[in-house]
Every structure is written in C-alpha cells, then in structure tokens.
Amino acid sequence: MAETRRQFDAQFREGAVRIVWETGKSIAQVALDLGINDGTLANWVRADRQARGEADGNQLSEDERAELCRLRRRMPSWRWSVTVLKRSVVLRVKEATGR
C-alpha cells in the first residue's frame, strides 16, 4: 500500500520556521513539538535562510555571486596596473640612486 505524504501550507511552514528563530530551540526539538520530521523542518529553515540572503557556510547569495563575477572580470586589468606600477617604481629608484 502506498504511503501518503502530509502536505503543509505556507502559513504552517512560516510559523514553524519562526518558532525556530524566535525561541532559539533546536530544529529537532521544534520538529518533535510540532510532530513533523526534523529533516523537513531543517529544509524549511535552510530555504528561509537563503531567502533572507544569509550565507549557508560556503554558499553565496545571488548578490554576492554577481559581485564576485564582476570582480573576477576586472582582476586582469588590476594585475596589469600593479605590474606597471612596480616597474615604474623600479625605474624611479634606479634614477634616484644613479644605478
């Protein structure tokens, strides 16, 4: 016989996540109190964290990812500028010391 999956509306999900944030209880404890699987609640909390833009460990938000791509595109020109500046400093030092 097929197992039926329980469906939770958005209001219940938001309320469960709010309980985790506001009470400071662990996800497992809140899930036990509500009678739901702790993995399910953990998924809801993770999705809420991502929606808020909070990084999850090494994961970047969409804004951070876009900025990283923009900075990586500009990096070659910065490296070239640093190289030119280093060479100009070396030339000025040589002129100043007469070497």
Measured distance CA(58)–CA(60) in Å, rounded:
7
Measured distance CA(99)–CA(97) in Å, rounded:
6
E strands, the chain, where? none
80-93 mean pLDDT: 91
27 burial level (CB within 10 Å; 0-12, 13-18, 19+): buried
Amino acid at 75: M
- Name the 3-class secondary structure at 2: coil
Q: What is the pTM of this model?
A: 0.53
Q: For 35-83, how does the pLDDT look when each residue is reduced to its tens digit (9 = 90+)?
A: 999 999 999 999 988 888 765 556 777 888 899 999 999 998 888 899 9
Token pair 């938001």: residue: 14
